Amino acid sequence: MPSYISDSRLNSYEAAFCGATAGVVSRFFTAPFDVVKIRMQLQPHRTQFQLKHADPKTIKYTRIIPALKTILREEGIRGLYKGNLAAEYLYLLYNAVEFCAYREIELFIEKLDSQNQIPAAAKTFTSGMLAGSAATSITYPLDLLRTRFAMQGTHNQTEGIIGFYWGVWPTLMQIMPYMGLVFTTYDHIASTFKAARENGTLSPDHKPMHDMLSGALSGIVSKTVVYPMDVVRKRLQVQGPSRKHYVISAIPEYATRSWFKCMKLIAAQEGVSSLYKGLTVSLIKVAPAISMTFFVYEKTKDMVISWKS
């Protein structure tokens, strides 16, 4: 049985259109938080799990609101949208590929499992994992450029074609469980809401709110699980294969290390909690981002279906 996300009334192109629309809208509203998250992730200071705030005299970006104010004061409104043009293309293409691929992969798995022996959660997780991997592989160069532009450096760096895929392995290692969890968690929560609406426990008029809440919760759970991999990915992306013209010279050498060794090095030199630098701002961003993505996707899907009827 298809998941809550899929709809037999949509073809692959229509699913891609709905995904692209959702990606563009979601990105526009969350771009400033993404810039803050990246700035926090790439600060090489040692951290500890503690309640008191870091010293702003030695650490530039310590908390979300002050960081937003600092960027706004030093760089203007454009600073909060550094790399956003590349990111808009990224989100448009990424979500188009992802939702289209999800639909096709899920249909393929359904055909293979004609006897319904595979658990529904496993199908959703596998479909989300593979769809996220396909979308990431296609859009990775744009993601790398988005990260570089979000930083403050002004030096140019020539790395060749391979430079566009620097750090791709930790990205894929992160995105596979992440998107698998996002789609599985969303499907489970949204399906629960759907059942409650159908039996009269909840009002059908509140479906948009249910979809948004399902997306927010799925994003929070999934992002927290895979966040350390995201920190490693950003370090590798910004550094690139060479230290020449590196924009943050204080960060240790990671380029010749695997993503797992890089993670161990960060934990050893900066503390284990450094693997969660920027987590708060990331969750503040991811909750509305995933929520809005699925909300806009569902609304666009309903609109397309109404056009066809």
**Of 294, 288, 232, whose CA–CA distance to 259 is shortest?**
232
Q: Which residue has the higher pLDDT, 268 or 255?
A: 268
6 in a structural domain: no
Q: Are 288 and 216 in contact (CB under 8 A)?
A: yes
| CA end-to-end distance (rounded Å), the chain | 23
149 within some domain: yes
- Domain membership of residue 64 as a residue range: 12-308
Q: Is the pLDDT of residue 123 over 70?
A: yes
Query: Exposed/middle/buried for 89, CB within 10 Å: 0-12, 13-18, 19+?
Result: middle
In a domain, 264, yes or no: yes
In a domain, 57, yes or no: yes
Q: Is residue 2 part of a domain?
A: no
pTM of the predicted protein model? 0.72
Tell whether 1 is covered by a domain. no
Report the pLDDT value the prediction gives residue 248, as an integer from 0 to 100. 39
Residue 3 lies in a domain: no
Triad 274, 279, 284: Cα angle to 5°? 165
Quick one: pLDDT band at residue 198, thresholds 50, 70, 90?
very high
Tokens 């990105």 belong to residue = 27
Number of domains in the chain: 1
CATH number at residue 182: 1.50.40.10
pLDDT in tens, 222-240: 999 888 888 887 777 666 5
Distance CA 32, CA 65 (A): 11
Q: State pLDDT tens for residues 167-197.
A: 677 678 778 999 999 999 999 999 999 999 9
Q: What is the pLDDT of residues 79-109, one digit of tens each?
A: 888 767 777 888 899 999 999 999 999 999 9
pLDDT value, residue 46: 57
